[in-house]
Amino acid sequence: MAGLYIHIPFCKRKCHYCNFYSLASVKFKPELVGALLQEMELQKNYLQGEVLDSIYFGGGTPSLLNAKELDIIFDKIYAVFPVDEKAEITFEANPDDLSSSYLQMLSKSAVNRLSIGVQSFNDEELTYLNRLHTAEEAINALKKAKDHGFSSMSLDLIYGIPIATKESWLKNLEQFKELKIDHLSAYNLTREENTVYDLLIKKGKYAPPDDIQGEEHFKLLLAFAKENGLDQYEISNFAFDHKYAIHNTNYWRQKKYLGIGPSAHSFDLLSRSWNFSQLKPYIESINKNKVPAEKEFLSKTDQWNETIMTGLRTKWGVNRLELKQNFNHEWIAEFDQITQKYIQNGQLLKSNESYLLGEKGLFFADGIAADFFRIDKP
């Protein structure tokens, strides 16, 4: 089984914190859709005939696609790739795009899961992030989506917003609980270079993220999850009743996926490739039957580092027996030494033959993973 990702790089306007490739314009949308169709033809052998168990429309804002555009994209997907009849087909959307008529259109399409970018149920925080919707619009959109038959949904929330308080963050979580959504993705606000947020910080108009506040909000999130039976299966992702996101779980468990569109990434177990992050050059190249991408082949060291990094992010952790099957005994011996340090301080836990982050280690996942990384010798 493998995954397919479709990148739609258009937005009504850019959020202050966002560093994903997108444009605050829908200019060239028809040309982009045509290029997506052509790239699928050009890339049809990338997954070597593996059946798709997940299709994910991300962005940008996929909910700027109209019914005709979505239909022809789906027609091409099903014509080019084998798709499992139970495939998870996720569509990212902003609350302000989810009118009753748009939801009606989506409900008639192949989409069976929505990922809705709420970010906050607090109007002041939404303004701070430069979101277009209000808290009330977000709540109404989620309720309408359920009324139109979307029982499988995820919503995004952001914590660590400088103007937020413990109380406002807990209210966000309580609102999520009240809406009875089965999946939550919660992200710590980060300062990414060349974003509007970064520029506002440099100008002294916004405060930078506070690590202490972020950790405090994260601990409140973990406590909320534990109290409400919400399963944290990845650092930023939580689900009720094992309603894990198949597409993202495939990323973390290192399954193959193909990315279509400008800036989209692909992975075939042995290499990674990524399309150029410029719309016009992307379209022009595809129209010449050439995928505008860069590619890197993964060395054994790269494979080790990625196995550690992705495994530690999840509830399944890093399995030592699987490491032994794929890497040499010297690396395993060093792995065993490092794990003992983190087990002793409570940041790592051992479960059978797997090592996973304990609660003390979750907020420091990147640093802990980096301690296990190897560097290719020149």
Q: Are residues 330 and 229 in the same domain?
A: no
Residue 99: phi and psi, rounded to 5, are -75, 165
The domain boundary residue, chosen from 197, 226, 252: 252
Mean pLDDT by 10 residues, the chain (378 residues): 97 89 91 98 97 97 96 98 98 97 97 98 97 97 97 97 98 98 97 92 95 96 98 97 96 95 96 96 97 96 96 96 95 96 96 94 94 85
Q: Are residues 211 and 326 in the same domain?
A: no
In-domain check, residue 84:
yes
Residues 6+ apart with CB under 8 A from 221: 159, 169, 173, 186
Q: Are residues 9 and 140 in the same domain?
A: yes
In-domain check, residue 267:
no
Q: How many domains does the chain have?
A: 2
Q: Are residues 168 and 56 in the same domain?
A: yes
Q: Are 374 and 363 in contact (CB under 8 A)?
A: no
Q: Are residues 247 and 320 in the same domain?
A: no
73-78 own/partner pairs: CB under 8 Å, 24+ apart: 73/6, 73/33, 73/36, 73/37, 74/109, 74/110, 76/36, 76/37, 76/40, 76/41, 77/4, 77/40, 77/52, 78/110
In-domain check, residue 291:
no
Q: How many CB atoms lie within 10 A of CB 214?
A: 18
The domain boundary residue, chosen from 228, 252, 276: 252
| pLDDT of res. 378 | 59
The domain boundary residue, chosen from 252, 283, 305: 252
Amino acid at 214: G
| pLDDT of res. 21 | 87
| Distance in angstroms (rounded) separating the CA atoms of residues 151 and 303 | 37
Q: Are residues 333 and 199 in the same domain?
A: no
In-domain check, residue 81:
yes
Residues 6+ apart with CB under 8 A from 10: 22, 23, 25, 26, 29, 32, 59, 60, 61, 64
In-domain check, residue 209:
yes
Q: Are residues 17 and 145 in the same domain?
A: yes
Q: Are residues 227 and 326 in the same domain?
A: no
In-domain check, residue 333:
yes
| pLDDT of res. 143 | 98
Range of the domain at 342: 315-372
| pLDDT of res. 132 | 94
Question: Looking at residue 207, what DSSP letter applies?
Answer: P
pTM higher than 0.85, yes or no? Answer: yes
Looking up tokens 């406002």 gives 168
| Distance in angstroms (rounded) separating the CA atoms of residues 233 and 238 | 6
Q: Are residues 343 and 194 in the same domain?
A: no
In-domain check, residue 101:
yes
Q: Are residues 78 and 221 in the same domain?
A: yes
Which residues are 88's β-sheet partners? 54
CATH number, domain with residue 141 = 3.80.30.20
Q: Are residues 224 and 325 in the same domain?
A: no
Q: Are residues 367 and 223 in the same domain?
A: no
In-domain check, residue 130:
yes
